[in-house]
């Protein structure tokens, strides 16, 4: 199996959670994805994901956790972080570096604040500590499209907000193909979007005590570059890297992104 990649599921509190694991390293790395998890969980993606992030596989045992499968209508990023804490205990992860992208970064902030003993290092990529007008406009438009069963609209808008330059055309084509796989239900996606709009730990960022790398993009059309700067100003042991000319999908588009994260985590 490619880098010992495994598709896994764990049951707890009357529900369950899909996750994947891969890698052969002796250190733990947890990766938390964004609101796209509302449409497609980690189920069945272990091998392709391990291929994309193969650079981490020799140094780390990597875990990618989805949100729980049965989400209550009101479920916050704090609730999601508490789920991660519980799952870590259940599968024997005492401590890990945590790498969160977009909403995954919001959950990562909550985990580092609420369960600081579990987080060794933190990477917060294109994320925010509190809602801003740009983020609310993007999320509200996606919720409105979901209410109107406009999955193609969500995919097209996501591409336009996420990619820049020549990659934008590629992203539009890729998301147009994904749009053919219309979901049967949008409730999970809308719960995740609403939890982002309610996420606010701005006044608690100083409680994050672990070394933290913050990666932003100055042309981010989902939450703006300032969201990364204000986290850097409030997290004491933090390093900020801002990509110029990139938007929210910088983690897919910038060729040096994974290497930058890896260099920070292994040192």
Q: For the segment 63-73, what is each residue's pLDDT rounded down to a tens digit? A: 999 999 999 99
Torsion of CA 109, 115, 121, 123, to 10 degrees: -20
Does residue 169 lie within any of the structural domains? Answer: no
Does residue 104 lie within any of the structural domains? Answer: yes
Q: Which residues contact 1 (CB under 8 A, 6 or more apart)?
A: 47
Q: For residue 69, what are the CA distances in angstroms to 9, 72, 135, 137, 189?
A: 10, 10, 25, 27, 11
Q: Does 1 score more than 70 pLDDT?
A: no
Range of the domain at 77: 2-130+201-266
25: domain CATH number is 3.40.50.1820
Does residue 196 lie within any of the structural domains? Answer: no
State how many domains the chain has. Answer: 1
Read off the pLDDT band of 177 (50, 70, 90). Answer: confident
Sign of CA dihedral 58, 39, 66, 34: positive
Does residue 165 lie within any of the structural domains? Answer: no
Q: For the segment 89-102, what is each residue's pLDDT rounded down to a tens digit? A: 999 999 999 999 99
Read off the pLDDT band of 249 (50, 70, 90). Answer: very high
Does residue 173 lie within any of the structural domains? Answer: no
CA distance 71 to 89: 21
Mean pLDDT of 38-42: 95
Does residue 158 lie within any of the structural domains? Answer: no
Does residue 188 lie within any of the structural domains? Answer: no
Q: For the segment 126-147, what is each residue's pLDDT rounded down to a tens digit? A: 999 999 999 999 999 999 999 9
Does residue 48 lie within any of the structural domains? Answer: yes
Give me the residues paired with residue 11 across strands: 16
Mean pLDDT of 254-262: 97
């Amino acid at each position: 199996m490619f880098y010992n990649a495994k598709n896994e599921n764990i049951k707890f509190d009357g529900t369950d959670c899909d996750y994947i694991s891969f890698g052969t390293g002796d250190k733990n790395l947890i990766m938390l994805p964004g609101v796209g998890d509302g449409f497609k969980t980690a189920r069945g993606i272990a091998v392709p994901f391990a291929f994309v992030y193969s650079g981490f596989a020799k140094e780390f045992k990597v875990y990618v956790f989805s949100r729980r499968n049965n989400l209550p209508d009101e479920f916050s990023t704090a609730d999601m972080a508490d789920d991660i804490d519980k799952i870590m205990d259940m599968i024997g992860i005492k401590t890990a570096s945590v790498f969160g992208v977009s909403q995954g970064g919001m959950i990562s902030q909550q985990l580092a604040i609420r369960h600081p003993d579990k987080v060794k290092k933190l990477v917060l990529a294109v994320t925010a500590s509190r809602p801003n007008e740009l983020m609310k406009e993007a999320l509200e438009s996606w919720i409105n499209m979901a209410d109107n069963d406009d999955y193609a609209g969500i995919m097209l808008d996501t591409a336009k907000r996420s990619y820049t330059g020549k990659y934008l055309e590629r992203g539009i084509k890729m998301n147009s193909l994904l749009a053919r796989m219309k979901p049967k239900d949008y409730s999970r996606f809308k719960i995740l979007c609403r939890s982002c709009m309610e996420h606010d730990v701005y006044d608690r960022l100083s409680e994050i005590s672990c070394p933290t790398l913050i990666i932003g993009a100055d042309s981010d059309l989902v939450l703006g570059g300032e969201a990364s700067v204000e986290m850097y100003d409030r997290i004491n042991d933090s390093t900020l890297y801002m990509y110029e000319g990139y938007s929210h999908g910088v983690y897919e588009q910038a060729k040096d992104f994974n290497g930058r994260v890896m260099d920070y985590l292994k040192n």
